[in-house]
Amino acid sequence: MPVVKRPIGIFDSGFGGLTVARALFDLMPAEDYVYIGDTGRYPYGSKPLEDVRGYAEELAHSLIDDFDAKAIIVACNTATAAGLDDLRAGTTVPIIDVVAPGAYALVSATRTGRVGVIGTVGTVSSGAYVHAVAAAAQQSSETVDLTSAACPGFVEFVERGQITGDEVTVLAERLLAPVRLAEVDTLLLGCTHYPFLARTIADVMGPDVVLVSSADETAFAAKDQLHQLGLLRTGGSVGSRRFLSSGDVDSFRELGSALLGFELDRAERWPIRNSA
């Protein structure tokens, strides 16, 4: 099959990457997609980054070897923060991540220069955003003051389908205190699960704070890169979408459909090979 007609592979620890998938489907509808949610091993955010790096490599190689993916979208900040250098060095397929596009969007959106990033413990402790935001600021000749906050517990709420309510609000008030105190004017949702909690996060942060999600920016970055490489599929027809999960497939179908707003009816099982 010509490379251009091969699918785009997407992965995340669970449902979070569906926020990125939706942006990709909207921007590049003619492409075929294969999405794997690693719900059998989620959450990634509280696991050692070395383990997460191994999961990411297994998922990416499966998308390339088993599904013939022409490009990989790492729709997970924690997997990106764990380090993609070995993966990139070991494959000729473009590997597109969510961290750099999110950092550029954050730096472009701020008015005061006081910016915040929230993410999993793994993402925040890796310092990935400190580097990515500094690089984005340097490239745009902007000066920014970054405050980061880890939000353990947010991902678990999303994976349970509990995206609003008092419990989420109480947790959000506690975890978002550092970025509120820093008076950021722009906050990057540095975990692909967090856009599902955007309403609560926006309520807690207040109307003057702009929330930035990396989903749209990542889709634009992916389109640019595919276009430059001559791999972009165009045309009128809508491509196929295939969803797989390493955990309970029934709940993946049910909750995934509810969160994404369209059917994951035919979601399939993706077997974990390297369970170490």
- Residues binding ligand DGL (CB under 6 A): 12-13, 16, 42-45, 76-78, 120, 123, 155, 191-193
* Residue nearer to ligand DGL on the CB measure, 215 or 249: 215
Could you tell me if 36 and 63 are in contact, meaning their C-beta atoms sit under 8 angstroms apart? yes
Q: How far is the CB of 22 from ligand DGL (least distance, A)?
A: 14
Active site residue 76: yes
Contact criterion met (CB below 8 Å) for 212 and 187: yes
Which of these is catalytic: 81, 87, 133, 191?
191
Known active-site residue 151: no
Asked if 2 contacts 232 with a C-beta cutoff of 8 angstroms, the reply is no
Indicate the residue among 12 and 216 with the shorter CB distance to ligand DGL.
12
- The helix (H) or strand (E) run that includes residue 269 is strand 268-269
For residue 52, the minimal CB distance to ligand DGL (Å) is: 8
The distance of closest approach from Cβ of residue 193 to ligand DGL in the complex, given in angstroms and rounded to an integer, is: 4
Strand-strand pairing, 95-97 and 71-74 = parallel
CB-nearer residue toward ligand DGL: 8 or 188: 188
Could you count the other beta carbons within 10 Å of the beta carbon of residue 102?
Answer: 30
DSSP readout, 26-88? HH-TTS-EEEEE-TTT---TTS-HHHHHHHHHHHHHHHHHTT--SEEEE--HHHHHT--HHHH
Which of 212, 193, 190 has the alpha carbon at shortest distance from 202?
Answer: 212
* Candidate list 24, 64, 76, 87, residue with the active-site label: 76
Question: Which CB atom, from 8 or from 18, has the smaller least distance to ligand DGL?
Answer: 18
Least spacing, CB of residue 102 vs ligand DGL, in Å: 10
Closest CA to 38 of 227, 272, 273: 272
- Which residues does the annotation mark as catalytic? 76, 191
